[in-house]
Amino acid sequence: MAVERTFSIIKPDATERNLTGGVNAVIEKAGLRIIAQKRIQMTRKQAETFYAVHSARPFFGELVDFMISAPVVVQVLEGENAIAKYRDVMGATDPSKAAEGTIRKLFAKSIGENSVHGSDAAETARIEIAQFFSGNEIAG
């Protein structure tokens, strides 16, 4: 297994409930290192670009409105097999289907307001990291 980097977002439902530290504790307990992190207010354009793959889905408008409804924390996580590992740590998209101990089981409110994002593949991880971080903001 190789050391990988993945992109994470702590979403508005979590930042609003002061859960940044709670989410980060689960990430670090799983052995992933937070090698870049910043709290930002996403613009509508940034959110539309980020979730462009879902632009034809019926929930797209709702998803973009949600992502700009409050600040988010964008992160780069590093570790062995980080992309798949973080997907496991996050849990299923729908928190009612998420496994015990996962971030979404612990914290998510609904399938839409589900507390975290994580990249789904190496190529998307690269693209997503580059959308929000310049190289000198990442210290691994």
Catalytic positions, please? 117
Q: Which of 23, 117, 125, 132 binds ligand ATP (CB under 6 A)?
A: 117
Min dist CB 1 to ligand ATP, Å, is 22
Q: Rule CB under 6 A: say whether 70 interacts with ligand ATP.
A: no
Stretch that binds ligand ATP, among 18-26, 39-47, 54-62, 68-76 (CB under 6 A): 54-62
User: Taking the CB of residue 140, how many other CB atoms lie within 10 A of it?
Assistant: 9
**Any contact of residue 111 with ligand ATP (CB under 6 A)?**
yes
118 near ligand ATP, judged by CB under 6 A: yes
CA distance 119 to 87: 8
Name the residue nearer to ligand ATP (CB basis): 105 or 135. 105
Closest-CA residue to 74 (of 37, 123, 121): 37
Q: What is d(CA 66, CA 9) in angstroms, rounded to the nearest whole number?
A: 13
Size of the site for ligand ATP (CB under 6 A): 11
Residue 63 binding ligand ATP, by CB under 6 A: yes
- In eight-state DSSP terms, residue 58 is T
DSSP character for 136? G
Task: Copy the structure tokens of residue 78.
Answer: 């590093």
Q: Cβ of 110: how many Cβ atoms within 10 Å?
A: 12
Interacting residues with ligand ATP (CB under 6 A) = 54, 59, 62-63, 93, 111-112, 114, 117-118, 120
